[in-house]
Structures are given as structure tokens and as C-alpha cells.
Chains A and B, each alone.
Chain A
Amino acid sequence: MLIDWFTVGAQTLNFLILVWLMKRFLYKPILHAIDEREQRIATELASADRKKDEAEKQSDEFKHKNEELDQERAALLKKATDEAKAEGQRLLDDARKAAEALSEKRMETLRSEAVDLRQDISRSTQQEVFAIARKALTDLATTSLEERLGEVFTRRLREMDDQMKAGLAETLKTASDPAVVRSAFDLPAEQRTAIQNALNETFSAEIDVRFETAPDLISGIELTTNGQKVAWSIADYLGSLEKKVDELLKEKDKA
């Protein structure tokens, strides 16, 4: 008999034990390891996907930020350029204004210099004219002229108005010093006497007189007593002329 029933039973039992052993030591751990590895790989893949997504998101964000920065930079650059342009324009305007002011000032200076120069010229011309006149008259002045002058002076004394005469008489009386008669040349004795006489007649008193020579009168005679003066001289005429010319020039300048 090829079948031994005890062996069949024992082998069945052995096989069942082997099934249990294999399950316990082989299939379970191996399958568990495989499952765990697959789980792990899946987790890693998922994590990698997540990281990739995150990286893409970040990359997008960076791109966006870069674009924003570019735009901002462009805007800032434009603003700076505009400001620089405006500032340049302002500086140019300032410079133009300053230049204008300077040129205005220079023009003003030139104008005032011209005025000064003109004034100077007028003044020196005037002085020159008077100097020439004075010199001419000085050259012309002679004793005979002085005689004529003496005559004119005595006539003027006599023709003096009453009010002036009274004032002068009062002064002559009260004066301690003698009255002074000045002339450009030494008066001859006749003339001195004529003047003395004229004075005596005019003021009806003995007038004490002292004669002096003063070349700056150019030509003429003057009577001075205690601050009051009766005079006739070409210098007087010239002085009043000078005054008038000055006034005329001043008026012209103002205009």
C-alpha cells in the first residue's frame, strides 16, 4: 500500500504548521515591508509634488514681484527724470533771471556812469567856461575900468533904496571897526576920496573907511561893515550865472 494514513495525517499537520510558519515569518513581514515602502514612496512623491507646487507658486510670486519691482523702478526713474528736468529748467530760469538782473544792473551802472560822466562834463565845461570868462575879464580889467567901476559903485551907493540905506546907516553907526572897501586893484587917491565923499553924503556922517585890495573880485568894489555888504563886481555876476546854470543842469538831470 503506497498510502500510509498516519503519514498522511502527519503531513497534513506538517503542511498546516508550515502554512502558519510561512505566514508568520515570510508573507506578512515581506508584504508589510512592501506596503510600507510603497506608502513611503507615495508619501515622498506627494511631498515632492507639494514641494514642486510650492516652488512653482514661489517662482510665480517672485516673477510677479520682479515685475512689480521693474514697474516701480521705471516709475521712479521717470519721476527722477521729470524732477531733474524740472530742476534743470528751474536752474536755467534762475540763471536767466540772474543774468537779466545782472545785465539790468550793469545797464543801470552804465546809465548812471553816463549820467555822472555827463554831469562831470557839464561841470567841467561850466567851470572851464567860467574860468575863461573870468580870465578874459581879468585880462580886460584895467585902471580905467576900475575908474568906471568906482563911478558905478558911487552911483549905486547914491541910488540905494531908503530901507537898505537906513539899515546900512544903522550898522555903520554902531560898528566899532571901520567899514572896509575892497577892490581888485589899488584905488587911486581921487577915487578913494570920491568914495569917501559919496559915503559921507549918502549917510550924512563922517564914515571911517579902510581900503583893501582883493584880486579875487576880478573887477569891482565892495563895502563891507559888520556882516552887511554893498557890492558891485563881475565875480558877483559870474556867481549868480553859475548858480543859474547849475540849477538848469540839475533840472535836466532830473528829467
Chain B
Amino acid sequence: MRLSPDEIIFWQNGFFKLNATIVYTWGLMLVLAVGAKLITRNLSVDLKRSRWQNLLEIVVTGIAKQIEEVGLSQPQKYLGFLGTLFLFVAAASLCTVIPGYEPPTGSLSTTVALALCVFVAVPLFGIEEQGVGNYLKSYMKPTFIMLPFNIISELSRTLALAVRLFGNMMSGAMIIGILLTITPFIFPIIMTLLGLLTGMVQAYIFSILAAVYIAAATRVRKPKPETEAKE
């Protein structure tokens, strides 16, 4: 019984190894990049456009709209990071319909890596938006007493991100594996469909939470001028 595709190791040389997580991630990257490249190879700027282009435009504008709704006024700036988070997690879930495939997001290493990326990206965007001083001050809001709690919240939410995604993806794969041994017909298919749904929901949750964190980090400065004005 495997809990993670990390355990499938194709090649190892000391610290370096090539496990299923990395290989499937590469595969997903290849598919996403080549697919995007193929579709965007001859984009039409006219009113008439191909179905694939239409699909990609819907996806991209949909993501941008979601980011904007969260409260980030310049979605293009965060589209690269948040959009890729969503697309990667969603693609990883979607590909579970392929037999023999193990979703890389079912590995805690991958989810931790993604959560770490969010953990690093949030202060980076925050500092870019309001400067180092202002960003660090935001940890002492409303009072300095809140500083340790803010730091704990920062760490815990990162951990929560990683574990939530891992738990959901892993459990999906696990349930299917267990069901296959008990009732090999019908039920695994239903569970796979359910897995697809939960995978998409997880992709949405993961990226939207990341967006909310970034929004929180970049929006702190805004109420300040208002209080200054009141004073």
C-alpha cells in the first residue's frame, strides 16, 4: 500500500532520484506547455477564432476574473502564479482518468512545494506592493501583541494548504484503490468521477486561498490613508 507516488522510484543516485511524482509532473508540464504552445501558435485577433483558442480565452479570462473578484485590482500581475497553480492542480486531477497515472498532487512533497511557493510569494507580492517596512508592520496589526499569532497563522495556513490538497488527492486515489479490491465494477468509476469533482474543487480552493492570502498581504496599506485622513 503506497501513500505517495514518491515511493515509486525509477532511478536513484545518492541524494538525486527520479520518482513518479517528478516524472508525472514533467509529463503534465509537457502537456500543458505544448498544448498552450500549439493552440496559441496562430492566435486570431479577429472576431472569428478557433474553438481551442476560445476555450483558452475562457479559462484565462475566467481565472483573471476570479482573481479580480477576490480583491486584486490588477489580475494580470498575479495571473502567472495563481493561474498556474490552478491549472497544474486541475490538470493533475483531470489526468486521474488515465489508467496507471498517479497524480503528483497526491504526494505531500508536491503539495508542500506548492504551499512553500505560496508561503514565499505572499510576502514577496506584499513587499512589492507596499514596501518592506509597511509589510512587516502589518504583522503587528492591530497591536504588537498580535505579532506571534500572525506568524503562527502564516505558518499554519501554509501547512493547512499543503495537507488539505494532499489529503484530498491521496484519499481519492486511496479510496479508488481500496474500492478496486472490494467491488471492481461500477463503484470505482463513480468514485473516479467524484475524484474528478473533488480534484477540481481542490484546485479552485488552493488557488483561491493563495489569491486571498496575496490580497490580504497587498491590501493592508489601503485603510491606512483613510485613518490618517481622519486624524
Among residues of A, the one whose C-beta sits closest to the C-beta of B12 is A6
Nearest CB in chain A to that of B81: its residue: A19
Residue A3 CB within 8 A of the other chain: yes
The stretch of A24-32, A69-77, A222-230, A236-244 that contacts the partner chain: A24-32
Closest B residue to A30 by CB, please name it.
B60
Chain A residues within 8 Å of B36, by CB:
21-22, 25-26
Q: Is residue B223 contacting chain A, with contact meaning CB distance below 8 A?
A: no
- Report whether A3 and B46 are in contact in the complex, using a CB–CB cutoff of 8 Å: no
- Chief secondary structure at chain B's binding surface: helix
Give per-residue flags for A150-170: 1 if the beta carbon is below 8 A from chain B beta carbons, else 0.
000000000000000000000
CB of A22 within 8 A of CB of B33, answer yes
Task: Give bound CA distance, A3 to B22, whole Å.
Answer: 13
Mark contacts of B41-65 with chain A using CB atoms, 8 A cut-off: 1 yes-contact digit, 0 otherwise: 0011111010001001100110000
Which residue of A is nearest B110, CB measured? Answer: A11
Q: How far is the CB of B149 from chain A (nearest CB, A)?
A: 26
Given A2-B3, A2-B108, A37-B46, A15–B60 Cβ distance below 8 Å?
A: no
Provide the bound-state CA to CA distance between A22 and B16, in Å.
27
On whether A3 and B108 interact (CB within 8 A), knowing A11-B22, A25-B37, A30-B40, the answer reads yes
Contacts of B194 in A (CB 8 A): none
Q: How many A-B residue pairs have CB under 8 A?
A: 125
B residues 73-127 in Cβ contact with A at 8 Å: 76, 79-81, 83-84, 87-88, 104, 107-110, 112-114, 116-117
Q: Which of A8, A21, A30, A41 contacts B33 (CB 8 A)?
A: A21
Q: Is A34 an interface residue (CB 8 A)?
A: yes
Q: Give the most central of A10, A11, A36: most B CB within 10 Å.
A: A11
Quick one: which of A3, A22, A33, A36 contacts B109, CB cutoff 8 A?
A: A3
Q: Does B189 contact A (CB under 8 A)?
A: no
Chain B minimum-CB-distance residue to A32: B43
Q: Does B17 contact A (CB under 8 A)?
A: yes
A106 to B45 alpha-carbon distance, docked (Å): 100
> Provided the pairs A19-B84, A26-B40, A34-B61 are in contact, do residues A6 and B16 lie with their beta carbons within 8 angstroms?
yes
Docked CA distance A13–B117 (Å)? 10
Alpha-carbon separation in the docked complex, A21 to B88 (Å): 12
In whole angstroms, what is the CA distance A31 to B76 when docked? Answer: 9
For chain A, the count of residues having a C-beta within 8 Å of the partner chain is: 33
A33 touches B29 (CB 8 A): no
Q: Is A78 part of the contact surface with B, judged by Cβ < 8 Å?
A: no
Check B79–A27 contact: CB distance below 8 A.
Answer: yes
Q: Point out the residues of chain B lying under 8 angstroms from A45, CB to CB.
A: none
Whole-angstrom CA separation of A103 from B108 in the bound complex: 136
A8 touches B47 (CB 8 A): no
A27-B37 Cα distance, complex, nearest whole Å: 11
Q: How far is the CB of A6 from chain B (nearest CB, A)?
A: 6
Contacting A21 at CB < 8 Å: which of B25, B29, B110, B112? B29
User: Across the interface, do A40 and B45 meet the contact criterion of CB distance under 8 Å?
Assistant: yes
- Taking CB atoms, residues of chain B closer than 8 Å to A21 are 29, 32-33, 36
Residues of B within 8 A of A15 (CB): 84, 88, 113-114, 117
Residues of chain A lying within 8 A (CB to CB) of residue B49: 33
Closest to B33 in A: A21
A12, A18, A37: the one contacting B47 at CB < 8 Å is A37
- Report B-chain residues with C-beta under 8 Å of the C-beta of A11: 21-22, 25, 104, 107, 109-110, 113-114
- Neighbouring A residues of B61 by C-beta, 8 Å: 34
Given contacts A15-B113, A21-B29, A25-B40, 13 further A-B contacts (CB under 8 A): A7-B19, A8-B110, A9-B113, A10-B113, A14-B25, A14-B113, A15-B117, A18-B84, A19-B80, A19-B84, A27-B60, A31-B76, A31-B79
What are 21 A-to-B residue pairs whose CB atoms are below 8 Å?
A2-B109, A2-B166, A4-B6, A5-B109, A7-B19, A7-B107, A9-B113, A11-B25, A12-B113, A15-B117, A16-B117, A17-B29, A21-B29, A23-B84, A26-B40, A27-B80, A27-B83, A30-B40, A31-B60, A33-B44, A40-B45
